[in-house]
Chains A and B, each alone.
Chain A
Amino acid sequence: MSFNLWSLYALMLKSRLFEEAVAQLWQDGLISGEMHLGTGEEAIVAAVISQLVEGDAMALDHRGTPPLIMRGVDPVLILRELLGQPDGLCGGMGGHMHMFSKAHLTASSGIVGASGPTGVGFALAAQYLRPGTISVAFFGEGSTNQGMMMESMNLAATWQLPVLFVCKDDQWAITTPVDARHRAALTDRASSLGLTAFDADGRDVLQVCEAANQAIQHTRSGRGPAFLHANCAHLEGHFLGYQMIRVARDPLKEIPPIALPLAKSFLQPSGAKFSDRLEGLKDVLNAILETMRDPRNDPVNDPVKLTRSQLSSDRQSLDRLEAAIQSEIEAVLEASLRELRL
């Protein structure tokens, strides 16, 4: 199977540039609340979505922007939604975690694990109404520990539904790191429930394409649900403004407000015995140290850069493509910000 790296790169870059603009607007205070970007998981999303057909459904998690962009939802509608405008995708009611496009059979949810049962229900309806189509559930590794996710996999296997479970594994459940052993266990877990499981390096778009191709063929042809596991790194941590990432980027400013109460509490005369306290302190310090390594600094974690390097021999085409996408995103910003520009 050969895949068009140029069009995959175009999908990924468009999503990346869009989300970089979103990050800036969030920093500027034009977007409220939390903001979970999908930067770092573009290769997984692009590899799967580029192989979907009309009528396929998607169940998304709290990182819904890249899949919506790549599936062809108008980026202006998405950005107007994030800006809380009445002409946004959902009338300003949903925001980035709760975006819906009925036309694309795509629903998102900010409840961890909720895309599992939604994916199952979409696949159930597909069997009656849209034979030959599938549904895709995107979720993070943290949500595989939700009962509803495991129940969904079991249900999909029991009913032999055309659903692809896509686990984007960044090794973090919100701010809790998971044991590295977990990865192997997740495909095992899916297999043990009767799903056909695939594994890929989620930073390498062609590798994910191969695995996704087999997984999609499997489930589309009526052989039951498939599970695709792909690792990745979230370049901004769990969400924008995540305290530990801020610590890594600006330690002088961010460490004192954390360290002072911590030290005071550690040194309280009453409490657990010293060795127990030390264990606790080690836990906290480990969490901080693990995030001190800013994932953005390690190019190996950036699927967009990696794909770009694979195309760099044709400099001219690359420049042309990038300029086109850049101006497309600029036009999206122009059209979305209109009256909001000061």
Chain B
Amino acid sequence: MRKMHYTQAADDALAQAMLADPNIIVFGEDIPLLRRNLLVRFGTKRVFGTPISESAFVAAGVAAAMAGMRPVVEVYMVDFLGVAMDALLNHAAKLADFSGGKWNAPLVLRAPCGGGYGDGGQHEQSLSGWLAHIPGLAVVVPSTPADAGGLMLAALEYDGPVIFMEHKLLSESWLEFMGSGGRSTVEYDLPQAGRLGTVPDKWSPIRLGSAHSVKAGTDLTIISVGVGVHRSLEAAESLSGDGISAGVIDLRSVSPLDEGTIIEAVSQTGNMLVVDEDYERFGLSGELAALVLEAGIKVNYGRVCTQTTIPYARHLEDQTLPNVTRICEVARSILGV
């Protein structure tokens, strides 16, 4: 076992895959700087930068994938996919169906996501539910270095487009790039277990759509992804002080969704709480409610999500993003205690 940081782990698994598959190429904005360690190992033919032309280079990545390559395309932040959405919505996501299942676009799109460092609502969104809403797109949201590597490898073996979302509070390099900029005068609520952790010596894929039951619990099932998993674990710890046994499930991918694990856990506790940093309405939290209702499970339900545009001001942002206090409050209200 080795110890690795979050983005380091994703890059390490990517390097392992690049050794095995010469068709994997890596490109995107500022890649020579951001992925410099891959660049000096694999050279400029396989690792290269792009102009700030998201709509063109993401769409080109889709087509290159169709034509036999395995591109790993990177944008600065998931928010900027707004510029490139057509490539995903109308092309990458549609290809397999339009071609009668005869053609696919195995592209991995890396997109840093999430807030908690005061950059404002145009740079801190999650958008995992917005992307997963579209049939044909897989959306992966790892919460630890071990998952980041294992899911990266699985994404690279997947037969279709995968959005690989790296939360900036988990990523050692993204937080330094966007948040602190070398300052020691700013503080963040960092989930340390998600930032640095043990990883396998050799990566194995973690199948997309396999949730991880991080903590068992008999009273309440908390379901989350990404940073939300760590906030949920902290809340579960705090709730256990009140004699409440809360389990935590890390979905790891929003699409495909591990329906079996969710249904099994929720049918045991009868109480479900969804913690999602993405927007509350029309997203993952509502989808999970529908899932258990359609399965005929009687459930008490609550959710802690982002309801509005994420404010720039740190104190407002802290109240807007899911936090431990809000999770505990909603948990108690679900349980009626």
Interface residues of A (CB under 8 A from B): 26-29, 32-35, 81, 84-86, 90, 92-95, 97-98, 109-113, 142-143, 145-148, 173-176, 239-244, 246, 254, 258, 261-262, 264-266, 268, 270-273, 276-277, 279-281, 283-284, 287
Contacts and interface: CB of A to CB of B under 8 A. Distances in A.
B47 A280 contact: yes
A250 to B, nearest CB: 9
Interface residues of B, number: 55
Nearest to B39: A280
Given A33-B123, A265-B37, 18 more contacts: A29-B183, A29-B185, A32-B312, A34-B178, A34-B181, A85-B313, A98-B121, A113-B83, A145-B53, A175-B30, A241-B180, A265-B40, A268-B41, A271-B43, A276-B45, A277-B43, A279-B43, A283-B32
Contact of A145 (B44, B52, B82): B52
A34 B309 CA distance: 18
B231 to A, nearest CB: 19
B337 interface: no
B118 interface: yes
Given A34-B119, A280-B39, A146 B312 contact: no
Contact of B53 (A109, A146, A175): A146
Contacts of B29: 174, 176
Contact of B312 (A84, A113, A145): A84
A142 B51 contact: yes
A109 B182 CA distance: 25
B122 interface: yes
The 5 closest A-B pairs by CB, nearest first: A241-B181, A32-B118, A29-B185, A276-B43, A84-B313
Identify the interface centre among B43, B45, B309, B316: most chain A CB within 10 Å of its CB.
B43
Contacts of B51: 142, 145, 173, 176
Nearest to B22: A272
Contacts of B52: 112-113, 142-143, 145-146, 173-174
Contacts of B53: 145-147
Given A28-B185, A277-B41, A111 B121 contact: no
Nearest to B11: A265
Interface string B300-337: 00000000010111111000000000000000000000
A283 B39 contact: yes
13 contacts: A26-B183, A34-B181, A95-B313, A111-B82, A111-B83, A142-B51, A173-B52, A174-B29, A241-B180, A241-B183, A261-B37, A265-B15, A276-B42
B117 interface: yes
